[in-house]
Each structure stands twice: as C-alpha cells, then as structure tokens.
C-alpha cells in the first residue's frame, strides 16, 4: 500500500473517530464538568445560507505573502487559489521555513456544504531507501547536524502537487494566474526580511555554511544579504514561470526533477532518488480526524500528521480543572505541561505512516485510556512518563524533539471557504542545497534514525515509499451547530502540537481573544525537559511552577509562528499573527 492509499484509509477512520469522540463527550466521560461559554459567539437560529458573506482575508508569516494571497482573492480567486499564491511568495521571502520543494498538510472547508477535506502533501522516501540509511558504519545514528545536509535527507517534494489537487477541485482561476506577484518579486527584488537575514548570516545551523546557500543568499559583492537590502532571485522567477506554465507537477518532471536528483546524489551522504520516485508520487486526500474540547469539535489531518496527538492532549486536559484556573494560575500550566509530556510519550511511539504500520488511533482516544493517562497528573510534576498501552499494537519509542523550518497560513475567500495549511522544508533552509533558486527539503530526517529499539520495530522507521511522521497539524474548530468558528496553526517542529494546544486552551477554555491566546507564553514539556519562554511568564507563575517541580528553561528550536482567524456569526473576522515572527493578517475590506 502506498502513502496515498494509507492516508485515504486512515482518513476514512476520521468519521468513526469524530462520532466516537462525540459519544464520549455526550456520555459525560471527561465532559461532566460544566462547560463555560468561550468568547466565541454561538451560532444563531439563522441558516448557514442566511449568514452574511464574509470578507476575504489572509493571515501568513510575511506581509508580501498576505498581499499575494489578497491579490488573487481580489481577482475573484478562491481560498484554494490564494493558497498557491501565498506558498509561492513564502518560498521566496521565507525560504528558511518553507518552499516549493517541501511538504505540507492542508485542511479545506467548503462553506456551501460544510465539508472538510484533509490534503496530504508529505514527502516520500525513495524506492531504494533502506531502514538503516541514517546509521553510521558502527550501526549508530548519524549525527543529526551531519544528516540534515546530506543528499539522502531529501524526499520527493509534495507541497505543489498537493496544492494542485486542492486547486483543481476548489479553484476558480487558471493555475497559470496564481504566480504573478511572486514572479515579479523574485525578478524585481524585495527588501530582505530580518528573519531571513538572521538565519542566512550563519550560526549553529550547518545549512548556512553550505556553498549553495552562500551563493544564493549573497549580493553582487559576494557578501551575505542583510536586512532591508533589496534582493533578487531571478532563477526562482524562472522556476515559477515554468511551474505556472506547466502545472503543479512540473517540479516532479524533467528538467527540474533531473536537477533535484543530481543535486541529492552529490556528497556528502548521497541520496537514492530516481525519476520513478517522482513519477509515482501522489498527494493524499480524505476525511480529517476530529475530537472534542469544551463542547467544540476540533479537526486535524490524520497520520502521518501528528494532529491526533493534539486531540489526545486536549482530551486529557478535559479531566482537569484547567479552564477554571486560567492563565495566571501555576497549577493550570502544571496541568498543561503534564498533559504535554503524556502526549509526546505516546506520539513518539505510535504515530507514523498508516500505509506501513497499524496505528492504534481509536485506542489513543479511547475514553478509558484517556482517563488512565489523565490520572497520572497530580499536584506536582511527576516522574518521567513513558508511553502508555492503548488498545492496539506495540512499537519501540522514537526520538522526540525535532527542530524545523516551517510556516503556517490561513485563507478565507468571500464565499466563506477556508484553507488552513502548515508547510515546511524541515530544518532551517532544508538541506541547504539549491536547485532553480529554491532549497531542497531534508524531511526524511523526520524518520527515526534507528529502525528498532532493543529488537522492537519503530513505527516511524525508514521504508521505501514511506512518508515520515510530521508535527504539521493545521486546525479547524467547529461549534455544537457545526459552524466553523476558527482556523489556526503554527510552525515549530515537535512543539507545533503544544503551540496549537496552548492557543486552543486560551481561546476555548480561558475565553481569550485569538491574539491573546497566540500571545500566551509557550511551554514545551517533553520527557524530563520543560522548555519555555521564561521571559514571557509572569514572575509569580514562574515561582509557582518551581514550587510545583517545574523550572521553565529558555526555549529550544524555533519560536512559534501562530496564525489564524476566528469567524463570528455576523460575518466579522478576527485575525491573529504571532508577534514572534514577521507575520500579519489583513482582509480585503481594509
């Protein structure tokens, strides 16, 4: 079974899980506590057809990406059309985070029918991939910083074929009309963003010292680009012209695919991609997986996305009084941290590509199992939690934290159709290797480097044609009347899961605005480590956490880049952009 078939098989399970979760909430298991109203207004008695037409809007990680999406919407394009334009521009202005040679997960909401479709654009391993491809001659895992710049780290890129599938189904404009703004910016130049300049300058990321990157991100005098400087990428402009003319699979066909194969075949750690791998690639699509929290239905993509882990974490938190405590209570953050640790322990053991392993999804969300996991949360930080034993299969535990280059954006069109999409090249600037003015992904390092642990197979081990587990988890939120009330997501490696969960808790449990929820301090509890934004926490909260056995240490990996929108019944949009990055949101009415 290929990755596309596995996604469809598991996506169909999403219907069952949504019904299962709904029965669980109605039965009172974890849901017997009085649900307090959030600040999101409930749906009125009027029908969906009578609701006001929403204005079109975009929230993304850079103003130029927002403007590119709005330009397409203003020309009559749909949310799916605008998503293509946003990704093309992000590939230019934020190449350290995402690109046309990366991968993505997308949730599409169709306002007319209420249908949600999950699209899978995750990369695949080559047919000649071997289970030990990330082990050295002694059978030990390669050093991660060596592996991420190797040719074998690159998988078949899936984001553009995935966007092509979504746009073919829901687009209104020709594919060729979606690249005008990004082609112009690449050809004529744009001011270098501060984040791009910061990562391009060097530092501990080995990609920044690769010859390809230095050549691409240097000015005419051979100096690294600096913030505010006008930078042009004519090679990328030409790549976008080819893509506009030849369609979403142009990256998977010669001459671009040939150039990618040749570049990944070079030392160090040459890869094994062949044209047959590109020819075989198909994006996945199907039902999302949905669970419930505080009376709301939360929908995420199925594996190999780890979105189900967000649902599990929220389900565990339903067994606590976190909603009554609020963000200024150290005990609330203790509960959040302990639920995070439990979630990560299960995620690292069980989540992988469903085309290759049987994942105990129903077991991970089983009410009795959730209650069992929640019972481990006490009034102090507990001992190191291991993975639980949900009804299902047993696997060896994978490594936990990954640091990645990723971005998230949300688009809504004038008809109320919505795209929530998380997109990535994996590490900062991917592998640091360049073809056609864009960086190649190194997503295959999201596989477990070890194929087994003490003889027990690892679910997320490398296999030919397999898709690596991903933390990318775009989110859609619905109320009890199935009205779409929010769309959001974040970059941040494995921390994506808790960044999204934090925002959902703030929005749905603590009654904060979306921007207030985004601005809450980040806390990532994984194993024995409690990483977080100590400077953002109030001092009484930090002191209280210390008394509870948690010392919040400065963060690890990328900062969050949360972007999202709340949709009110009167048609009003409430957007949010993470101040930790350079993003913004804007509607056509502004």
The verdict on 151 and 225 lying in the same domain is yes
Which structure tokens are listed for 381? 């930080």
Expressed as residue numbers, the domain containing 396 is 3-25+37-52+291-401+470-587
**406 is known as an active-site residue:** yes
- Would 410 be classed as within a structural domain? no
Angle at 402 between CA 560 and CA 271, to 5 degrees: 125
* Residue 392: count of CB within 10 angstroms of its CB: 16
Total domains present in the chain: 2
- Would 408 be classed as within a structural domain? no
The predicted structure's pLDDT at residue 393? 56
The whole-chain average pLDDT of the chain stands at: 90
Mean pLDDT of 119-140: 97
What are the E-state strand segments in 196-331?
230-231, 284-286, 289-293, 296-300
Mean pLDDT of 134-156: 96
The verdict on 451 and 580 lying in the same domain is no
- Would 464 be classed as within a structural domain? no
In the predicted structure, residue 25 carries a pLDDT above the cut 50: no
Which structure tokens are listed for 399? 């490594």
Mean pLDDT of 270-280: 98
Mean pLDDT of 227-236: 98
The verdict on 158 and 43 lying in the same domain is no
Least trusted range by pLDDT, from 257-261, 392-396, 430-434: 392-396
CATH number at residue 352: 3.60.20.40
In the predicted structure, residue 6 carries a pLDDT above the cut 60: no
Q: What is the DSSP string of 344-388?
A: HHHHHHH-S-TTTS---HHHHT-HHHHHHHHTT--SS--SPP---
Is 356 in contact with 6 (CB distance < 8 Å)? yes
The verdict on 182 and 207 lying in the same domain is yes
DSSP letter, residue 62: S
Is 343 in contact with 362 (CB distance < 8 Å)? no
The verdict on 488 and 382 lying in the same domain is yes
In the predicted structure, residue 402 carries a pLDDT above the cut 60: no
* pLDDT class of 3 with cuts at 50, 70, 90: very low
Query: Within 13 Å and on the Cβ side, how many CA atoms surround 432?
Result: 23
Q: Which of 160, 140, 52 is nearest to 441 (CA)?
A: 160
Mean pLDDT of 91-105: 97
pLDDT tens, residue by residue, 315-347: 999 999 999 999 999 999 999 999 999 999 999
The predicted structure's pLDDT at residue 383? 84
DSSP letter, residue 509: I
* pLDDT class of 97 with cuts at 50, 70, 90: very high
The verdict on 432 and 451 lying in the same domain is yes
- Would 570 be classed as within a structural domain? yes
- Would 409 be classed as within a structural domain? no
The verdict on 171 and 242 lying in the same domain is yes
The verdict on 579 and 520 lying in the same domain is yes
Q: Which of 406, 423, 445, 503 is catalytic?
A: 406
- Would 547 be classed as within a structural domain? yes
The verdict on 237 and 373 lying in the same domain is no
- Would 429 be classed as within a structural domain? yes
Sheet holding 584-587, edge to edge: 284-286, 115-120, 103-110, 418-426, 405-412, 57-60, 584-587
pLDDT tens, residue by residue, 463-519: 999 999 999 999 999 999 999 999 999 999 999 999 999 999 999 999 999 999 999
The predicted structure's pLDDT at residue 33? 33
pLDDT tens, residue by residue, 426-463: 999 999 999 999 999 999 999 999 999 888 899 999 99
Least trusted range by pLDDT, from 1-15, 247-261, 288-302, 303-317: 1-15
Is 518 in contact with 490 (CB distance < 8 Å)? no
* pLDDT class of 202 with cuts at 50, 70, 90: confident
The verdict on 152 and 86 lying in the same domain is yes
Is 278 in contact with 252 (CB distance < 8 Å)? yes
* Residue 439: count of CB within 10 angstroms of its CB: 31
The predicted structure's pLDDT at residue 178? 98
Is 64 in contact with 583 (CB distance < 8 Å)? no
The verdict on 432 and 310 lying in the same domain is no
Measured between alpha carbons, how far is 474 from 260 in angstroms, rounded to an integer? 28
The predicted structure's pLDDT at residue 12? 40
- Would 514 be classed as within a structural domain? yes
pLDDT tens, residue by residue, 28-52: 233 333 334 456 765 443 434 333 4
The predicted structure's pLDDT at residue 384? 80
The predicted structure's pLDDT at residue 388? 82
Phi, psi dihedral angles at 57 (to 5 degrees): -155, 160
The verdict on 368 and 510 lying in the same domain is yes
Residues 6+ apart with CB under 8 A from 455: none
Measured between alpha carbons, how far is 584 from 409 in angstroms, rounded to an integer? 10
DSSP letter, residue 115: E
């Amino acid at each position: 079974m290929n990755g596309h078939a596995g996604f469809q098989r598991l996506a169909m399970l999403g219907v069952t899980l949504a019904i299962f979760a709904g029965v669980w909430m109605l039965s009172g298991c974890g849901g017997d506590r009085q649900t307090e109203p959030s600040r999101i207004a409930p749906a009125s008695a009027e029908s969906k057809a009578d609701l006001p037409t929403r204005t079109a809007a975009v929230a993304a990680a850079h103003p130029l990406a927002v403007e590119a999406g709005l330009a397409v919407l203003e020309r009559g394009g749909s949310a799916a059309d605008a998503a293509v334009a946003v990704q093309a521009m992000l590939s230019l202005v934020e190449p350290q985070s995402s690109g046309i040679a990366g991968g993505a997960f997308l949730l599409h909401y169709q306002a007319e029918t209420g249908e949600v479709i999950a699209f899978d654009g995750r990369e695949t391993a080559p047919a000649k991939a071997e289970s030990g491809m990330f082990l050295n001659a002694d059978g030990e895992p390669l050093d991660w910083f060596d592996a991420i710049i190797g040719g074998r780290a690159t998988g078949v890129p899936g984001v553009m074929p995935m966007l092509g599938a979504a746009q073919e189904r829901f687009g209104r404009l020709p594919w060729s009309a979606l690249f005008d703004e990004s082609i112009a910016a690449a050809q004529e130049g744009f001011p270098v963003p501060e984040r791009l300049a910061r990562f391009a300058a060097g530092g501990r990321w080995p990609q920044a010292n690769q010859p390809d990157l230095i050549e691409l991100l240097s000015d005419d005098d051979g100096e690294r680009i600096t913030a505010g400087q006008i930078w042009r990428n004519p090679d990328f402009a030409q790549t976008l012209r080819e893509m506009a003319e030849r369609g979403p699979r142009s990256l998977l066909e010669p001459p671009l695919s040939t150039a990618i194969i040749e570049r990944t075949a070079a030392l160090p750690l040459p890869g094994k991609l062949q044209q047959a791998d590109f020819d075989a690639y198909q994006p996945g699509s199907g039902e999302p997986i949905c669970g419930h929290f505080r009376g709301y239905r939360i929908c995420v993509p199925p594996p190999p996305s780890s979105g189900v882990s967000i649902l599990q974490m929220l389900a565990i938190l339903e067994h606590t009084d976190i909603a009554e405590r609020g963000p200024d209570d150290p005990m609330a953050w203790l509960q959040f941290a302990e639920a995070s640790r439990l979630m990560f322990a299960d995620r690292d053991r069980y989540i992988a590509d469903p085309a290759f392993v049987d994942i105990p999804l129903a077991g991970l969300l089983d009410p009795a199992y959730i209650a069992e996991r929640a019972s481990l949360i006490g009034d102090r930080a507990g001992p190191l939690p291991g993975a639980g034993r949900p009804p299902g299969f047993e696997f060896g535990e994978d490594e936990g934290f990954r640091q990645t280059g990723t971005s998230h954006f949300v688009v809504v069109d004038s008809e109320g159709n919505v795209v929530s999409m998380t997109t990535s090249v994996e590490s900062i600037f991917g592998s640091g290797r360049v073809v056609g003015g864009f960086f190649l992904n190194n997503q295959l390092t999201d596989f477990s480097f070890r194929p087994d642990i003490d003889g027990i197979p690892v679910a997320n081990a490398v296999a030919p044609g397999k898709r690596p587990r991903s933390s990318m988890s775009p989110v859609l939120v619905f109320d009890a009347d199935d009205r779409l009330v929010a769309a959001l997501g974040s970059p941040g490696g494995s921390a994506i899961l808790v960044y999204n969960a934090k925002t959902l808790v703030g929005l749905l449990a603590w009654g904060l605005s979306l921007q207030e929820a985004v601005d809450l301090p980040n806390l990532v509890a994984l194993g024995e480590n409690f990483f977080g934004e100590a400077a953002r926490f109030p001092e009484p909260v930090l002191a209280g956490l210390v008394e509870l056995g948690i010392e919040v240490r400065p963060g690890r990996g990328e900062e969050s880049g949360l972007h999202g929108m709340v949709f009110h019944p009167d048609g009003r949009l409430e957007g949010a952009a993470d101040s930790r990055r350079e993003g913004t949101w804007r509607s056509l009415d502004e």
